[in-house]
Amino acid sequence: MTIEPPSLVGQPEPTSTPSPTKRMRAVMSVKGYILPDPETKNRLTVWFTGGSLGPAKLSSNNGDETDDEDENNNSEEDGYGGFEEWNSIFGKGKWRNALSERARGMAAKVLLGVDAPSKMEDDGHLGYSLNRPVGGHGKAYIDVLYLDDDLLILKGHHGTIYSMARSCVSQRYRNLQAASRT
């Protein structure tokens, strides 16, 4: 995902919380579990239990993931901020200073049992857990539209379509694309 500066999306700069000056690449992970829906065939009920947000690792010229922005020259030249930009926003906990952020944090803790991070990890990640899972039958679900040995296509309860392929299939596809270019 990309975290956009407010100015790039037509929003005013917030005064109470820090915001990025450049786009930032990020990886958001959501943790949870699924159970078969007792009433609807091919439906899985989703329960969310936590997640994390962290800076995305960049791909180097040889295809390996790296944190080294100098090795691949992608970050500054393409207009994206690097780890220093990430650290300036999330590293010192400045996002928690605003009254509105503290109120949201308190509400999340009381209503959902959220254990939120007090500081950023050394690698830039911020994780959280929900002691009272969110979701459940009829609230959060995914419908299985297609499933075989290599491909899974799902539809979320808001209509979002997800497609997943085994990594070996994705690698075969990338290899075919690369071969067709030469």
pLDDT digits (tens, 9 = 90+) for 98-124: 677 778 888 888 888 888 887 888 899
> d(Cα 134, Cα 139) in Å, to the nearest integer?
9
* Helix (H/G/I), strand (E/B), else coil: 92: coil
| Residue 47 near residue 68 (C-beta atoms within 8 A) | no
The mean per-residue pLDDT over the stretch 57-68 comes to 55
What's the pTM value of the predicted model, to 2 decimals? Answer: 0.63
- The mean pLDDT of 69-88, rounded to a whole number, is 66
What amino acid occupies position 112? L
Question: What does the pLDDT look like over 135-151, one tens digit per residue?
Answer: 888 789 999 999 998 89
CA distances for 157 relative to 19, 50, 164, angstroms: 31, 19, 17
Question: How would you classify the pairing of strands 23-36 and 43-55?
Answer: antiparallel
Split at pLDDT 50, 70, 90, the class of 62 is low
pLDDT at 43: 94
